[in-house]
Amino acid sequence: DRRVFVTEQEAMAVEGENLAKASIAVTNASLAEKEAEAMRRAEVAKRKAEADIQSAQYDLEQERLRAEEIVREEIAKQQMEIAAEAEAERLRRIARGEADAIISVKKAEAEGINEVLSAKAIGYEKLVAATGGDTAAVATLLMVEQLEPIVARQVEAISNLKIDKITVWDSGGGGEGGSTANFVSSLIHSLPPVHDVAKMAGVELPDYLGKVKQDE
């Protein structure tokens, strides 16, 4: 009858509606799942991108630090080279100064010696002229000039002896005077006479300077 038909139609409508709702639910669930997967992938991609960015920033920072270290090392190297060159230049200047000072001293000494020799040459020339060109007389005069320091040295040698400190052992042989007196006398006689010193130099002293007394 009509009511049964209507009921069946309503039941079919409800069933169709439920099937539609179920299909919608499945579709929504699938959509939500796909959206979640998409969000997960997006988050992974985002984090990976952030990690890549951080890694790139780290690499850039390391490069910057290495560049700064290289710059510092290069600056330190240049500073060391500059300091070494400055020290070398300082030592070179000191060496040049010392060399110039030595050269100046040697030049002054040479000039002084030259002045002395020039003065002596002029003096010798005048001496030769004064003796009328007699070179033997010139040599004698020069030797006489040296007699005073020679005699002074001999006197100094004797005067420095501590006579009171001298003890002489002899064999008790004869002879006048004490042992010490004989020692001093023999010591004085052992000194070369002035005439002998002159002869060693090839100069014959004139008679007015005295003669050597021969031992009897």
Q: What is the pLDDT of residue 190?
A: 47
Pick the more confident residue, 173 or 100: 100
User: What's the pLDDT tens digit per position in 101-154?
Assistant: 999 999 999 999 888 888 888 887 887 788 787 777 777 777 767 767 777 776
- With 50 as the cut, is the pLDDT of residue 1 above it? yes
201-213 burial string, b = 16+ CB within 10 Å, else e?
A: eebebeeeeeeee
Taking alpha carbons only, the member of 154, 121, 124 closest to residue 139 is 124
Is residue 168 within 8 Å of residue 180, measured between CB atoms? yes
Q: What are phi and psi of 193, to 5 degrees?
A: -60, 160
Residue 154 CB partners (closer than 8 Å, separation 6+): 191
Cα distance between residue 4 and residue 2, in whole Å: 5
Q: What is the pLDDT of residue 208?
A: 46
Mean per-residue pLDDT for 190-199? 56
Percent of the chain whose pLDDT exceeds 70: 69
Cα distance between residue 171 and residue 9, in whole Å: 181
Kindly report the pTM of this predicted structure: 0.34
Q: Which two tokens stand for residue 141?
A: 């005069």
Taking alpha carbons only, the member of 134, 113, 207, 191 closest to residue 158 is 191
